[in-house]
Structure 1
Amino acid sequence: MEHRVVFDFAIEFTNGGGIQGQDFRLDIAGDTISDQELADYIIEDLRLLMVGKVNILNKFYIQEKHKRKPVNAVVSEKLIDLSHTIFDGLITYKGLPAPIICDFLSRDDSRGKYEAGTEFQIGKIEMVGNTGTYIDCPFHRYAHGKDLSEVGLEAFANLDAITINAVGVIEIGVDYFKDKEIKNRAVIVRTDWSKHWNTDTYFENHPFINREAAEYLLDCGVKLVGIDSHNIDDTRHNSRPVHTILLGAEILIVEHMCNLEALPEAGYLFSAVPPKFKGVGTFPVRAFATMA
């Protein structure tokens, strides 16, 4: 069934004045759309500047044949979340402690500190850096390597990216990267191992990149390598050649990703930005793809 939204709007400008619209009708992908999504669409579609307050008024829905591409279909295609949710007690890597997530200040305890009807929650988190979907910087492997605070934002954000399909493969060799446009790109390796996330299977016999492939990625000058598996290295042994090779060349690594099946082969930007910590080489990120 095709749906449309009917509404009025009133827009105020920060430099004075405003505009109004009555009985606007827009095609939408689902059966509802938020006021904020409508406001964003109007501003973009009309190319408005200096916009202040936007009021969406008298909104209701009708079923009517679409006349152009639905509004919230465009919005939903812009960003793809590639990160697992971190929760209290999550085991990311066997042998490392799970995060402890609790209240430092609860809402109940805050009520006596502020005026009536005002309350806050301040969370407390205790965890190791290797928790959830995380990024490795050179300091993770090398004592004198760059830590999170020393790596520039351009290494974390808006990287031209390519997806490598290695679904069903355990040892991912150099052939998966040959004949691909990978130089100066984030190389995102899809294995679909994330389907085993938060189960015992996730930790055993997981997909990994081998030494030869890591050396090839280094020679080709890639910017970052990500994978939706338990580790980018083979954890059945105590050597870690991929971490050693890539981080030694300041090629960042993102592990424990998910939703890679939603990515195209190319034509998108990849971001995985951590907090700016000094003396830390690994930390959780909200990894995501921006569709170009």
Structure 2
Amino acid sequence: MTEYRASFDAAIAFSNGGDLTVHGFRVDLPGPDTAEPDIAALFVASLGLLMTDTVELANVQIFPEPHKGTRGGPSDPRHNREPEPGDGRGRLVELSHLPQEGGTYLEAPGGDLGAVELVKSVDLPAVVVRVTGARRSPIGVGSLAPFDVRGHAVLLHTGVREGHCLASDAAAWLVANGAVLVGTDADGLDDCAHEARPARESLLGGGVPVVERLTGLERLPPTGALFTAAPPRLLGVGRVPVRAYARLPLA
């Protein structure tokens, strides 16, 4: 089977300031028709660049060449590996607000909490994506691409109640890359100034539960914790308060 790679120049701007320019960079591709946004995401993932705001590609060339094992690419040995659940003996961290503080909520795909499987809400390997201190702009694919999200709960640590919404293409990227739950410490994933909820709708439409108004995410490591937010089995009910918590990895 023919394998493909891409060569390109790239200019990156970071959400906390600064930029980076590269020339003639190469990444493995899943196929010859890989779109430029996907190439940009592979580039960010390959370098593990955090808080990436924008990526502009130029001089993109796609050609047949054996894969070199690009991190996050189709030949990365982690790509098809199941996430490790851990041994479950670490310290517990409270991540939910009290009801008088507004509570923490889980919304179920299809508006049916009874259909939320335990494998999508209990002891999920967590990835914490920190955008605290960044400009209050939509969280894009560039902020997510450095992380292996397949089989994980992706927790967005914004540090604010509103202002850091999730871009709709980033939500679609999370679905396509196998995230099983998405949470945020903000009041919602979308811009509260608008009625449309494209990020939430994209996630729920892709079968991914959403947890909003988390707290305490600053106490979690970027990876290694196990996240739980199990809702009651209520048929025909779509959104309820939940007790969310995480179990830290052993030191």
**Structure 2-normalised TM-score?**
0.60
Q: CA deviation at 1:178?
A: 1.0
Aligned residue identity for 1:179: P
Structure 1 stretches of at least 4 aligned residues deviating more than 2 Å after TM superposition: none
Structure 1 gaps, min length 5: 1-75, 93-131, 141-146, 194-201
Q: Is 1:150 matched up with 2:144? A: no
Please give the secondary structure, in 1, of the residue aligned with 2:218: helix
SS in structure 2 of the partner of residue 213 of structure 1: helix
Partner in structure 2 of residue 266 of structure 1: 223
Contact kept? 1:210, 1:234, Cα under 8 Å? no
Question: What secondary structure sits across from 1:216 in the alignment?
Answer: helix
Trace 1:58-97 onto structure 2 (pairs within 5 A): 78-87=91-100, 92=102
Report the equivalent of 1:133.
104
Question: What SS does the aligned partner of 2:132 have?
Answer: coil
Q: Give, as a single letter, the amino acid of the residue that structure 1 aligns with 2:155.
A: I
- Where do 5+ consecutive residues of structure 2 fail to align? 1-88
The amino acid of 1:83's aligned partner reads S
Aligned residues: 159
C-alpha displacement at 1:189, in angstroms? 0.7
Q: Which residue of 2 aligns with 1:11?
A: none
**How well do the aligned residues superpose, as a CA RMSD in angstroms?**
1.6
Deviation digits for residues 10-30 of structure 1 (CA, Å, limit 9, x no counterpart): xxxxxxxxxxxxxxxxxxxxx
* 3-state secondary structure, aligned to 1:258: coil
Conserved in 2, the CA contact under 8 Å of 1:83 and 1:286?
yes
The reply to whether residue 162 of structure 1 matches residue 175 of structure 2 is no
CA deviation after TM superposition for structure 1 residue 77, in Å? 5.8
Structure number with greater Rg is 1
1:188 pairs with 2:135:
no
1:178 to 138, 145, 160: 145
Where 1:269 maps in the other structure, the secondary structure is strand
User: Identity percentage over the alignment?
Assistant: 36
Sort the Cα spacing of 1:77 and 1:151 in 2 relative to 1 into closer, same or farther, 3 A: closer
- Residues in 1 aligned to 2:90 and 2:179: alpha-carbon distance in whole angstroms: 26
The two structures have a TM-score, normalised by structure 1, of 0.52
Cα distance in 2, alignment partners of residues 162 and 150 from structure 1: 24
Contact 2:110–2:205 (CA<8 Å) still a contact in 1?
A: no
SS of aligned partner of 1:270: strand
